[in-house]
Amino acid sequence: MAEHISENHDEHSHHTEGEHHIVSIPLYLMVFAVLVVGTILTYFTAQWDLDWIFPGANTLLALLIAFTKMMFVILFFMHVKYSSKLIWLTAIAGFFWLAIMFAFTMQDYLTRSAGVFTR
Amino acid sequence: MATNLDTHEHYHQPGLQHQFEDMRQQQESDSIGMWMFLVQEIMFFGGLFTVYLVFRSKFPMAFAAGSNHLNVALGAANTLVLIVSSLTMALAVHYAQLGKRNLQVVLIILTMILGATFLGVKAVEYTDKYKEGIVPVSGLNLRTPNVEVDSARNTSKNPEEQEKNSLDFPEGAHDTKGNKPVTEHGEEKEYVNRRGNFLWEDTSLVVAAQQGNYLTDAEKIGYFENGEINAEKFRDKVRIFFWIYFAMTGLHALHMIIGLGVMAWLLWKAWRGTFTPEYYAPVEMAGLYWHFVDIVWIFLFPLLYLLGRHFLHSGGGH
Amino acid sequence: MQNVDATNIDRVGNEPELNYLNNGSSVKSWLLTKDHKRIAILYLLSVSVFFALGGIYASFIRLELLTPQSDLLESGTYNRVFTQHGVLMVFFFLIPAIPAILGNFLIPIMIGAKDLAFPRINLLSWYIYICGGAFTLWALLQGGVDTGWTFYTPYSTTFSNSYVMAVGLGIFINGFSSILTGLNFIVTIHTMRAPGMTWFRMPLFVWAHYATSLVMLLGTPVIAITVLLLALERVAKIGIFDPAIGGDPILFQHLFWFYSHPAVYIMILPGMGVVSELISNFSRKKIFGYEFIAFSSIAIAVFGFLVWGHHMFVSGQSIYASLVFSFLSMVVAIPSAIKVFNWTATLYKGQISYDTPMLYGLFFIGLFLIGGLTGLFLGAMGLDVHLTDTYFIVAHFHYVMVGGQVLAYLGGLHYWWSKITGKMYSEFWSKIAAMIIFVGFNLTFFPQFILGYMGMPRRYASYPAEFQVLNIFSTAGASVLAIGLLMPLVYFTYSIFFGAKAPANPWLLPGLEWRTSSPPPTENFEKTPIVTWEAYDFTEESGLDLENARNRLRAPLA
């Protein structure tokens, strides 16, 4: 019982610790620079023909860059890096459920009658 | 909003609502609540992304063709505009945390200007698509009659036929007499779009993909009629791309408009000096929303504007 | 205990003057209230209206099916009637019933909070609900909708001439009510718990609502965007779901069931929460396997998202995908079974008292068991081909939805009626009503299992003559059920005006909601409680001398 109470306190103190963190301006500017570079990079890599790796490699690369950009926005602009575990969990859960929707829908389309949708 | 029901004493710490014990509890609730809201937003856009994923995997060439037709320069510029607005928003939160009212106000105004710029550019893009006749909804495009064909028909000797023509295409008939929509540099536009239909003739990507042997099986059924490439059927698939384009960017733009509304409210509050280093949750929450909308665009830009860009540079083949 | 006066267990008549009901009586004090208890009452009234409307449509369906010919309603009208029955019952009754009424009223009290975390959003979600409902009712008055509550494309987008758009928008709007309620609950449960109220001291009702809220939050936005696309397809003639121009109607089914399958867990999880309360409290025994029941709720919420494809076995979905969905459907039966086993284990050697709420609790276990097990038949790919779109399905989900959720809702309503209104209802009449409902329900829906197995398809106004006998049974049962459902309306209303005044703790139970007056004050507790006991603690550690109080009162209220 006492264990439960202390657990509760831990959770609260953890939250307080995260609440008032102030990110410095140079860090904001650095994140901004990463985002701009990322945008430029996406634009130019899209012009290269990467289909020799596998068809759709361009899209994959673009998504990787977009994902990196997103991580920077989420971690720093949205302060998740300095937030409680619950916020981490929430953000991850959102994308996890999105992945469920993608994966379980595509498992139908990609396996239909001997691969109608394969190349 | 205190009603006569709230008979008990308030602590009257500024911004503390009655159901909370203290400021920390309120702040925690606000931030969890906002994140929960963002999670539902992820799923809200997620439905559209699923639609995108399914059709993109079925008809990659149609998507590439449609994507190549979007104005990538404007799209990229808009991406940068949004990124800058995210920075200004983040800084607004920063100065709210420090309790600097004037900087907050300036940064919120900057964010709003950038947001409005984004919407303006979007409007330009939409207008272009509308004029080009590729808004995928039948009848919603600019009607651009071909002068020669119309005048040839209207000089027809048979008055009944003439009347029928003008009944069929009242706008077209009117336009041939009045203002000349066709001539900008004195010559006609290449296309005729009397019903405001979606127009698409270019099937070069299908040809290239057929030669390179990388059509998907869905495409082999979807683009062809009796073994021949059928421009109409291909057009329908390109149309799907543009539906998805308009749905996704439209929903995103709607979120931007709501965001601007929130910013206006925030500006008013900040102007009155409501926010202090102890109480700045609304700025932070609005910031989270704004960044989320930015993230959506970070994905929309490559997925909508940059698909199959490389076909343009490698001559459409391998 | 610290702040709970143990002597007030059977205290009658010395509550504080001001409670949430008499604290302001103007229309404004109700329509602009931010008190979760008053909002729960608003929901109670409005949800009841939709339940009654849905019930009227149901009675038309049963009357039509009395004879093999379509004589009372012609086919087109019949299509509208069963669609409207489905839409009203699913979106405007089953989904909000327990969470928005009982959950809204009880969650803050059960965790010792003054209110939900966002009272204004709570009120907003009621207004959104009313707005969505008004939209839908308007469409029904105009002539209604005939697509079935599933709105399958391309019928709904291309061919139907009914008011698909208006009803769709009603559902779209209503969805946000559900999202905001879920959001509010999650945040409240995370941040508003009273000192000492740890996660594993919360009543299982709260755990069940936490799981429900997760589903609401993660699933509902998807149906919102899907309905939006449907509306765009009808209005602007976009064709994402139109197979004639390369669109994909099965994609609609994927998106629809991504929400609507988890939504059936929105409709049953809160009921399971109520039943956990009833079984434990009326057995006077700590619930067996608390953690298992708590986590099985979460497991149902998560696994519920992985099984939607079992609605699509005959739709043209890939057979491999069907295999996966079928397997996972079997898996999701495990947490449900865990709950049933734990409830029965709780009953073992308990001091069971057969008060009305407990009757509903016991009915729930039996009926949910039948409903759940027939669900496994349907999740099996081979058998499902035979049973798809027959009355077997109809019987199955009515056993879960009515036999499960509606009975749990009624059980909860009886259980907490004294807390909500401060009045006691007639125990005699409520027991009679419970029996009538149980008999009527089984008589209505059990024959439908047989009909479905024999091959009677659903959604037709006429049927071959050999099915008539069982249909007559079913219609007769529906009449009995209707009488049973009308009875609470009478004795509940009677109790409000003439019922005996309820004590704070009429059943002599340890839960936090029984430690405040009936009806509770606006801020729920005079002083924030400090919790030092586990949920369902009937020993002296709960701080209440329940044993002595019981001995003094001797067979309370039976």
pLDDT at C14: 52
Residues A96 and A59 in one domain: no
pLDDT number for residue B21: 85
Residue C468 one-letter amino acid: Q
Residue contact C34–B3, C-beta within 8 A: yes
Give per-residue pLDDT as tens, C141-158: 898 899 999 999 889 988
Question: Which chains does A contact via 3+ CB–CB distances below 8 A?
Answer: B, C
- The predicted model gives B263-288 an average pLDDT of 92
HEC string of chain B? CCCCCCCCCCCCCCCCCCCCCCHHHHHHHHHHHHHHHHHHHHHHHHHHHHHHHHHHHHCHHHHHHHHHCCCHHHHHHHHHHHHHHHHHHHHHHHHHHHCCHHHHHHHHHHHHHHHHHHHHHHHHHHHHHHHHCCCCCCCCCCCECCHHHHHHHHCCCCHHHHHHHHHHCHHHHHHHHCCCCCCCCCCCCCCCECCCCCCCCCCHHHHHHHHHCCCCHHHHHHCEECCEECHHHHHHHHHHHHHHHHHHHHHHHHHHHHHHHHHHHHHHHHHCCCCCCCCCHHHHHHHHHHHHHHHHHHHHHHHHHCCCHHHHHCCCCC
pLDDT surpassing 80 at residue B188: no
Within a domain: A100 = yes
Assigned domain for B3 exists: no
Both B273 and B178 in a single domain? Answer: no
Is it the case that residue A20 has pLDDT exceeding 90?
A: no
What's at C424, amino acid-wise?
Answer: M
Residues A31 and A43 in one domain: yes
Given pLDDT bands bounded at 50, 70 and 90, which one contains residue C337? very high
| Contact at CB, B54 and A105, closer than 8 angstroms | yes
Q: Where are the alpha helices (DSSP H) in C22-92?
A: 27-31, 36-64, 75-87
What is the average per-residue pLDDT within A96-115? 87
Q: Please state, in angstroms and rounded to a whole number, the distance separating the CA atoms of residues C525 and B147.
A: 80
Cis geometry, peptide bond prior to residue A55 (ω within 30 degrees of 0): no
Q: Judge whether residue B162 has pLDDT over 90.
A: no
Structure tokens at C319: 């057979």
B293 versus B158: the higher-pLDDT residue is: B293
- Picking from A32-41, B142-151, C54-63, C475-484, which range would have the lowest pLDDT averaged per residue? B142-151
Question: Is A106 among the domain residues?
Answer: yes
Residue B174 above 50 pLDDT?
Answer: no
Looking at residues C8-14, what average pLDDT do you find? 47
Same domain flag for B74 and B217: yes
To the nearest whole Å, the CA of A45 is away from the closest chain C CA by: 30
Give yes or no: residues B119 and B156 share one domain. Answer: no
Structure tokens at B71: 């104005």
Q: Do residues B137 and B154 share a domain?
A: no
The token duo for C85 is 């029955």
A77 to chain B: closest CA residue: B90
Question: 């009803």: which residue's tokens?
Answer: C167
On chain C, the residues whose CB falls within 8 A of the CB of A1 are: 532, 534
Mean pLDDT of chain C: 92
Residues A94 and A113 in one domain: yes
Nearest CA in chain A to C215: A97
Look over chain B and give the mean of its residue pLDDT values, rounded to a whole number: 82
**Do the Cβ atoms of B72 and B309 come closer than 8 Å?**
yes
Predicted local distance difference test score (pLDDT) of residue B153: 45
CB spacing of C190 vs B32 below 8 angstroms: yes
The whole-number average pLDDT for the span B97-122 is 95
Contact C468, C519 (CB under 8 A): no
Per-residue pLDDT at C160: 87
Are B168 and B300 contained in the same domain? no
Domain end (from B134, B162, B195): B195
- pLDDT over 50 (residue C486): yes
Q: What is the mean pLDDT of residues B287-312?
A: 93
A4 occurs within a structural domain? no
- Residue C369 CA from chain centroid, whole number: 17
Looking at residue C175, what is its pLDDT? 95
Mean predicted confidence (pLDDT) in B93-120: 95
Whether residue A17 is found in the same domain as residue A70: yes
How many folded domains does chain B comprise? 2
> Could you list the residue range(s) of the whole structural domain that residue B178 is in?
144-195
User: What 3-state DSSP class applies to A51?
Assistant: coil
Secondary structure of residue C390 in the 3-state scheme: strand
The label of the residue with tokens 């609730």 reads B29
Question: What distance in Å separates the CA atoms of residue C107 and residue C277, rounded to the nearest whole number?
Answer: 13
Tell me the torsion sign for CA atoms B19, B22, B25, B31. positive
CA A105 to chain centre: 21
Binary contact (C306, A104; C-beta < 8 A):
yes
pLDDT of residue C187 exceeding 80, the answer is yes
- Residues C104-110 have a mean pLDDT of 96
Question: What is the pLDDT averaged over residues B241-254?
Answer: 95
Specify whether B64 is located in the same domain as B204: yes
> Mind listing the pLDDT tens digit for each residue in A72-102?
999 999 999 999 999 999 999 999 999 999 9
Tell whether the model's pLDDT for residue B5 goes beyond 60.
no
Question: Would you call A96 an interface residue with chain C, using a CB distance cutoff of 8 Å?
Answer: no
User: Do residues A66 and A111 share a domain?
Assistant: no
| Residue matched to tokens 């949708």 | A117
Give percent above pLDDT 90 in chain B.
53
Task: Return the H-helix or E-strand segment holding A58.
Answer: helix A57-72
Instruction: Please indicate whether, in this complex, the C-beta atoms of C318 and A108 are within 8 angstroms of each other.
Output: yes
Distance, in Å, from the CA atom of B106 to the CA atom of A53, rounded to the nearest integer, reads 48
Decide: C35 and B5 in contact? Cβ < 8 Å: yes
Answer whether A47 touches C (CB < 8 Å): no
pLDDT attached to residue B17 = 85
pLDDT at residue A55 in the model: 76
The answer to whether the Cβ–Cβ distance between B306 and A62 falls below 8 Å is yes
Contact check, Cβ <8 Å, C321/A1: no
Yes or no: say if C103 and C209 are a contact pair by the CB < 8 Å rule. yes
- Kindly state whether residues A45 and A90 are assigned to the same domain: no
Flag whether the ipTM exceeds 0.95: no
- Considering the domain boundaries, does residue B49 fall inside one? yes
Is the residue at B18 inside a domain? Answer: no
From chain A, pick out residues whose CB is under 8 angstroms from the CB of C193.
8
pLDDT at C448: 97
Residues B122 and B228 in one domain: yes
Give residue C543's pLDDT: 80
**Cβ of B158 under 8 Å from any chain A Cβ?**
no
Alpha-carbon span C154 to C157, nearest angstrom:
5
Within this chain, do residues A74 and A90 fall inside the same structural domain, yes or no? no
Percent pLDDT > 70 in chain B is 79
Across the interface, which of B28, B83, B312 has its CB nearest the CB of A36? B83
Same-domain pairing of A105 and A50: no
Final residue in a domain of this structure, among B167, B195, B223: B195
The verdict on A102 and A45 lying in the same domain is no
> B106 and B227 share a domain?
yes
pLDDT at C214 over 70: yes
Of A18 and B137, more confident: B137
The confidence score (pLDDT) of residue A48 equals: 86
Whether residue A105 sits in one domain with residue A69: no
Same domain assignment for residues B257 and B247 = yes
Q: Is A7 part of any domain?
A: no
Q: Residue B309: which CATH number?
A: 1.20.120.80
Interface mutation vs chain A, best among B25, B27, B35, most A CBs within 10 Å = B35
Would you say residue A3 lies in a domain?
A: no
**Residue C12 phi, psi (nearest 5):** -125, 135
Residues B50 and B93 in one domain: yes
Share of chain C above pLDDT 70, in %: 96
Omega of the bond prior to C154 within 30 degrees of 0, cis?
yes
**B191: pLDDT strictly greater than 90:** no
Q: C-chain residues within 8 Å CB-CB of B33?
A: 117-118, 183-184, 187
Task: Give domain status of residue A6, yes or no.
Answer: no
Using a CB-CB cut-off of 8 Å, the residues of chain A touching C324 are 104, 107
- Of all residues in chain A, the percent with pLDDT exceeding 90 is 56
**Are residues A62 and A74 located together in one domain of the fold?**
yes
Query: Would B5 be classed as within a structural domain?
Result: no
Q: Is there a single domain that holds both residue B74 and residue B178?
A: no
Q: Looking at residue C482, what is its pLDDT?
A: 96
pLDDT at B189 over 80: no
Smallest CA-to-CA distance from C261 within C92, C400, C448 is with: C400
CA dist C29 and C42 (Å) reads 12
pLDDT of residue B146: 57
Q: A41 and A29, same structural domain? A: yes
- How distant, in Å, are the alpha carbons of B20, B118, B246, B274, B300 from that of B254? 33, 12, 12, 28, 14
Whether B123 and B189 map to the same domain: the answer is no
The range of the structural domain enclosing residue A74 comes to: 13-83
Domains of chain C: 19-553 (1.20.210.10)
In chain A, residues with a C-beta closer than 8 Å to the C-beta of C321 are: 104, 107-108, 111
